[in-house]
Structure 1
């Protein structure tokens, strides 16, 4: 048996753990390639029109795998934290795939409640039984996978740059370089470093959430808001870039909450979909970075003026 693992959606968060599980069981597996134009085209052709870009990309990865394996892992992820949920499209992803792509091999359908160790084990136990593995082997493989689930090494933390921005958004928008037009490399070439939410402690994010009237229902919304506000208040970044999928309802709410809190701090929203092109993206990124440079220059000038007892009037 050959198992297929689509390199989309929450692969960027849980993929290494799933790969470790399959590998420990001695099962042959194949991971779809990094997102490219062919993957995107497959997704656009097979997925419903009103789906967001990440879901279309996931369809493309599954379509690429369908003739190359006997089972495709499509986690029906329900929850990743206590009393917090993620996009409802994850709950119905299996049905979307079944009704959109013809000639699919077997795909996993079991719900995945990843909020506790017990929930993670149950999902791996179900997967292991599908693969006809013994309970002992499943338990051993689960321990290997659990290490990756609990010790995420992903995230950007570029400290050796004169300017730094917080890159905020869903993990599949941040780490799929084709979907976001390779934004990290573009920023680094402009001498701007990138910091993401993974480099913050969970307690820091939770602390910022307490100021809201009500705790966000969505896990990604909570993380995006908490990370943006924490990095802003710590003065760890010079600006914030929010990468948002076109038509994402969760993002539309979080963006406004962040704007209310940071006021006039440099903040840019980049909407991405299958029509997004490099030219427009490059122009906006370059303009934003130019603004950050000017802001830093004037702030330094103002600081020097205050040091010598002069007013900042006329400098800013």
Structure 2
């Protein structure tokens, strides 16, 4: 029989295993919170107007507008969005008219935007899918759609088209009206499951396509993912420690009337490690920072793609920063 310490040990081991899949847990948590919020929203707040004019727009707005808001919120809360757009005007000016280099910049932006969109789509797709499975929004806007009403009222009573907009609000329903309501809910749930199946299928195809085009092996790709997570974690910690140390020295020098002595990365260094990087099998680097520190050690130019094209050497970075300052002054 397992003792209490053994149970605690097992729980900790399972918990550490879950932490290794933190990104998947975050997606699951976002989906769960969105589904719970949608259920509360549709039952406590949503009230169909049961009007021929307003049913269709009212139901569609309550189904799609929160999804759009969640999608935009996913962009705003993603730090990768701001890393991509910060200084993008300068990067466009630097890459403009450089042929293969301009194509590389565009491809890097496309890959980054695709990744951001996939992350941002989790919550809105969950909202729409749960809304369709719940059926409340669909009942409202479908009962106000003349096209759907015309199809569903074929072979029914003459007053069917008149009663359809009021169907979500009727308390005492005749058997015929109950059949209409069940049919609307069935249509909504079928649409919800189709949406879920299509999304899963698309994700599977995209993931397979991405792995098929990978320039390196599966194990090296997994190593790259681990490296990126650890690098970002250490960079955040070191940035916090260095910023704290610099602030302490500046405050101390202010009160002592002395000059601070602190080594910090230059603006060019920050610019170089903030740029996008496309991983390939020809270069033994796993990130922009990894490439920057190694090439700086060798004293070579910070090139992207081949040795003939220097993308982020010091002169060009200074030109980019000058262009950015001119844009700010405008």
The structure with the greater share of residues assigned to helix is 2
The structure with the greater share of residues assigned to strand is 1
* TM-score normalised per structure 1: 0.23
Look at both structures and tell me which one has the larger radius of gyration over its CA atoms.
Answer: 2
* TM-score normalised per structure 2: 0.23
